[in-house]
Amino acid sequence: MRYKLLGHSGLRVAELCLGTMTFGEDWGWGASKEESRKIFDAYVEAGGNFIDTSINYTNGSAEKYVGEFIVSDRDRFVVATKFSLSTRKDDPNAGGNHRKNMMQAVEVSLKRLNTDHIDLYWMHMWDMVTPIEEVMHGLDDLVRAGKVLYVGISDTPAWLVAQANTLASMRGWSPFVALQIPYSLADRSPERELLPMAHAFDLAVLAWGVLEAGELTGKYNQPTSEPKRNQQPSARNLKLAETVIQVARERGCSPAQLAINWVRQQQDKSLIIPILGARSLKHIQENLACLNYVLTGEELQQLSDASPIDLGFPRSFLEDDFVRGLIFGDTLGRIDHRRR
């Protein structure tokens, strides 16, 4: 395991993050406490130190398990958790991004995690109603109080993230250092706006859904005893999985490892850290083995060609050679610049 700086910070985190949405059986499909411990231990033995959870994962079991697992060596781990999602469906203030929910949620998470601070606190989802000034000021208060060390943002439009960090810079508040989004070979839509924005603001990108709910593992393309969350995978993803299976067979690895490494090697787009989720020791061990090799340029291109993306307006317009000629004339090729 190698380590990366978390965005525009000095915090060192593992190049693969352990996701814990599978820790607990409360939702009917997760791992038992004993199996969760085995998954955690395998990740730590591989050199991992970056744990991602949330106040709502498996109705709180995930945070409780993480708290128990890290207690003997708390300072070794970078623990990330999230607030935003409702914890009491009949209470309008028990969910959302506003200060009241933020403050009560952080206390719940601190207690469950059995710690006096959270290393990385995520706003889980934009609620579309709370002013971004309220969010950034509230998060900065948590940092100044020592309850949170760094803040991040998840599942939110690029323009709002940019607005938030610009505001934080102007006000002297703690900025977001990381962005969490779905990103996989099957879903390249973040390449349109989110990844360029993250690159511009020096945000680390934690990618969830790297296996597209298991559709890229090949288990939907053939009879298998593996549990399946999605009973109706798209025809497009089944076809894409065939390509993943073919390249994996030629490489001599599993399709899951191949799909993870495709994401892991998109570092030219942003600093990307895949989140690995697993329901068994076997799965986490298999997925961690992606660290044993890297894909060649030809393999990366073959996979990318199997899942092309239309960048859409304004990217496709501004990157068109004719439009660039309108802007730069014949001089673009003679201009050296790091932003290109």
90 vs 94: CA distance, rounded Å: 8
Say how far apart CA 146 and CA 155 lie, in whole Å.
25
Kindly report the CA angle at 105 between 81 and 90, in degrees rounded to 5? 120
Q: Which residues of 250-274 are buried (b: 16+ CB within 10 A; e: fewer)?
A: ebebbbbbbbbbbbbbbeebbbbbb
Side chain identity, residue 278: A
Tell me how crowded residue 71 is: count the other CB atoms within 10 A of its CB: 11
Q: Is 150 a catalytic residue?
A: no
Q: In angstroms, rounded to a whole number, what is the distance separating the alpha carbons of residues 153 and 318?
A: 28
The owner of tokens 């760094």 is 150
Name the token pair of 182: 């779905």
Give the active site residue among 43, 57, 65, 150.
57
H-state helical runs in the chain:
33-45, 61-70, 99-113, 132-144, 158-171, 194-201, 235-251, 255-264, 281-288, 297-306, 315-318, 321-328
Here the tokens at position 269 are 């787009």
Alpha-carbon span 151 to 175, nearest angstrom: 7
Query: Tokens 């719940």 appear where?
Result: 108
Task: Give catalytic residue positions.
Answer: 57
